[in-house]
Amino acid sequence: MIQEVTVLSGKGGTGKTSLVASFAALAENKVMVDCDVDAADLHLILKPEVKETNDFYGLNEYLINKDICIECGKCEELCRFDAIDNFQIDGLYCEGCGICFLACPVSAIETKERVCGQWFISKTEYGPLVHAKLGIAQENSGKLVAEVRKAAKKMAQKKGIPLVITDGSPGIGCPVIASLSGTNLVLIVTEPTVSGAHDLERILDLCAHFKIKSLVCINKFDLNLKKTREIKELCKERSVEVVGKINYDSIFTEALIKGVPVVEFSDGETSRRIKSLWGNLYNKLSS
Amino acid sequence: MIISIASGKGGTGKTTIATNLAFSLARKGHNLQLLDCDVEEPNAHIFIKPEVEIREPVFFNVPQIDEEKCTYCGECAKICAYNALFVTKGKVMLFPQLCHSCGGCSYFCPQNAISEIGHEIGEIQAGSAYGIEFAYGKLNIGEIVAPPLIKKLKKRIDENKVVIIDAPPGTSCPVIEAVKGSDFCLLVTEPTPFGLNDLKLAVEMLKVLKVPFAILINRWNEEYFEIDSYCKKENIPIIMRIPLERKIAEIYSEGNLFSKELPEWQDKFCKLFNSIEGLRK
């Protein structure tokens, strides 16, 4: 059976992608997935060579044909997104519901499929990577995330790869829910700050809501030891295990600027801690 | 004037900038409003620590099916672009989280069997501190559609004040809803390849939205100059740099405002505001 571990953070910038890149270097025989389709970054470290590009279709686009339109105003009256003004549809406001198209008495509204982004299957030094790029100002990131994960699982199945490592997206909304549904294990990366603790609680609630087993890693733990203790307390109260603590270290930024995973950039304390984190995580996954 | 604070990527310091800018301007006597539109992970209230005076649940209209009238013809499910309705023999299933409240199902139902009912998606909390009028939205756990809550929060905008909007991360629906209609957008980035990659996406987004913008580099370390080169090439002004300092990170970790503890920053944030006003003209 294929196991999938998804790395989430609630808030962005906690070091999620840097850790995933290190896991990519440490884990054997796996498929990697970047689900942060809004602001994908994993490719900056894994440097993929794209093998396959697929278009992603979102909701349809609608346009009013001026030659047919009788300016009755029905479409504008029905549109709840204020996307129609002066017999023109503003794509930025349109949510693609198609009510205008269906209600137009003279069929003056035309529709066409809209490419909202692309997803890729790539080769990297560390194994295959499935990733995507959502078009700017496009919607449906949740649907694109679902598509990318499906493609990764299909590939793992076909090639007999037992493990999928997924870099999730930030927040608790649409793309995140699409990142975690049906995953075996979630690793939440947090930091010892008041806002980090606040976001951790929100994401733990979300995992509990979907009944998914979660583990926690505290990044930059020595930035504020008091807050680190509080986060450990919070995890204990909720019966969530803290499987790793990583120190506040500028080598995260240095490795990033060089474009290599931290564990390949240095073999100091931080790398040892990341290796031990991955070891713990892997044990949990196989137990 | 409405100033939104955005960034392609999370964790670059949007909330830090939004709260410290609001605090510094309020200290200098500006009439100020701060709205935290990152409804998935709101954090500004942690730093502003407002007395919450108003708690308002936010509802969103979803269909309600009158089973007496329904003939299970399936028309509603057929027209729903979001797959929020599913009709089987003798049953209509609704997935309220997927609904966009377009009203199509109730409008087109041949039996007039569909009405609409409020579904709670989150709440707005409002209050004040440091002379700042503050409000934020909090999306309920398990809800996926953030824009309606952001839209409702933005109804509180008072155009006579300086309005600062703390936007969510990314470049899709929630951030667009938050930034739309702003007079100016300040893009916060950090000097790393991730920062640059996500900054480029955010710049593209602002071009689509036609909102004027400038850059603030946070955690400036004098090591990575690619952002400077990019901004120079694209003719985008960099109007502030905040150095990478452990002291600032520690103040942040305690949930405090660094411009309050290091008051020399208040003048710097006021200067930032002057630069924004200058660029707007």
pLDDT for the residue A136: 78
Look at residue B19 and give its three-state secondary structure.
Answer: helix
Say whether pLDDT at A170 is over 90: no
pLDDT for the residue A279: 97
pLDDT for the residue A118: 95
- B41:A17 CB<8 A: no
Q: How confident is the model at residue A111 (pLDDT cuts 50, 70, 90)?
A: very high
For chain B positions 253-272, those within 8 Å of chain A (CB to CB) are: 253-255
pLDDT for the residue B30: 97
pLDDT for the residue A143: 87
Look at residue B47 and give its three-state secondary structure.
Answer: helix
State CA A38 to chain mean position distance: 8
pLDDT for the residue A215: 97
| Best CA proximity match to A257, nearest among B33, B227, B3 | B227
Nearest CA in chain A to B196: A41
Are B7 and B206 spatial neighbours (Cβ–Cβ below 8 Å)? no
- Read off φ and ψ for residue A282, nearest 5 degrees: -65, -40
Are B258 and B252 spatial neighbours (Cβ–Cβ below 8 Å)? yes
Here the tokens at position B128 are: 């004040």
B98 touches chain A (CB under 8 A): no
Here the tokens at position B129 are: 């501190």
Q: Which residues of A touch B171 (CB under 8 A)?
A: 38-39, 134, 136-137
- A98:B79 CB<8 A: yes
User: pLDDT under 50 in chain B at which residues?
Assistant: none
- DSSP H or E segment with residue B64: strand B51-65
- Mean pLDDT of the A48-61 span: 94
What's the pTM? 0.91
Q: How far is A42 from chain B (nearest CA, A)?
A: 9
Residue whose pair of structure tokens reads 């951790």 in the numeric block: A200
Alpha-carbon gap, residue A186 to A7, rounded angstroms: 6
DSSP-assigned letters across all residues of B255-278:
T--HHHHSTHHHHHHHHHHHHHHH
Alpha-carbon gap, residue A100 to A77, rounded angstroms: 9
Higher pLDDT, B133 or A250: B133
Say whether pLDDT at A1 is over 90: no
pLDDT for the residue B222: 87
Gap between the terminal Cα atoms of chain A = 13
- Mean pLDDT of the A249-257 span: 92
Alpha-carbon gap, residue A204 to A208, rounded angstroms: 6
Among A17-31, A164-178, B146-160, B254-268, which stretch is predicted with the lowest mean pLDDT? A164-178
pLDDT for the residue B25: 98
pLDDT for the residue B90: 87
pLDDT for the residue B10: 83
pLDDT for the residue A174: 80
- B41:A10 CB<8 A: yes
Mean pLDDT of all residues belonging to chain A: 93
pLDDT for the residue A12: 81
pLDDT for the residue A87: 96
Q: How confident is the model at residue A42 (pLDDT cuts 50, 70, 90)?
A: very high
DSSP character at residue B98 = G
Per-residue pLDDT tens digits for A193-218: 999 999 999 999 999 999 999 999 99
Q: How many CB atoms lie within 10 A of CB A209?
A: 13
Alpha-carbon gap, residue B57 to B178, rounded angstroms: 19
